[in-house]
A = this chain, B = another copy of it.
Amino acid sequence: MLYQLTDILGTVAFAISGVLVAMDKRLDLFGVLIIAFVTAIGGGTLRDLLIGNTPVTWIQDLTYIMVIPITVVLAIAFANQLKYLRKSLFLFDTLGIGLYTMVGIEKGLEAQLSPLVCIALGTMTASFGGVLRDILCNEIPVIFRKEIYATACILGGALYFLLLTFKMPESYAYLSAILLVILLRILAVRFKIRLPNIYRARD
């Protein structure tokens, strides 16, 4: 129940982030819909494809194909009010990436994959919807350039396996990992922490 609520809040937050980027590009209604959809389900879809879990999740579970278009319509209708929700949206988004990181890791474990691969799948689930959104909008993905986002997922996933190694019960490790992802993301935004940009000094 809590799981499903978080999943839906995360989906809504991801879809709205897609709507906002699409509006900056002045796309038409169909374009906005697709960008919102891809942002919300792109990471999980890519994960499902790579591990061979097909039909992919959003084709089997109709929640997404119902929730996302409704979100898009409401987000467009109340676009000028969205700024008052900025903090709530950031919170939902951050809950979402915490949860999705663990969803991806669990799917990897179900498929009996190694911890390293599971962490990669969790990070992908949480962050590659945004990568696909940016590619469709003809931008270099923002998480490749400035936002701490994937790094929080990677560290949260690593904590999960570390805690399991130390025999912590699975559900505690699960929650601890989600909390670490959320905490890292909030700290990164609050204190404007970024990964170093990498480039060559002039010769």
Total copies of the chain:
3
Q: Which residues of B contact A83 (CB under 8 A)?
A: 203
Closest 7 CB pairs of A and B: A31-B144, A52-B54, A28-B195, A26-B199, A29-B195, A27-B144, A51-B55
- Interface residue? A164 (CB, 8 A): no
Interface residues on chain A, size class = 35 or more
Q: Which of A39-87 contact B (CB under 8 A)?
A: 45, 49-52, 54-56, 59, 62, 65-66, 76, 79-80, 83
Nearest CB in chain B to that of A124: its residue: B34
Whether B28 contacts A194 by the Cβ 8 Å rule is yes
Whether B117 contacts A29 by the Cβ 8 Å rule is no
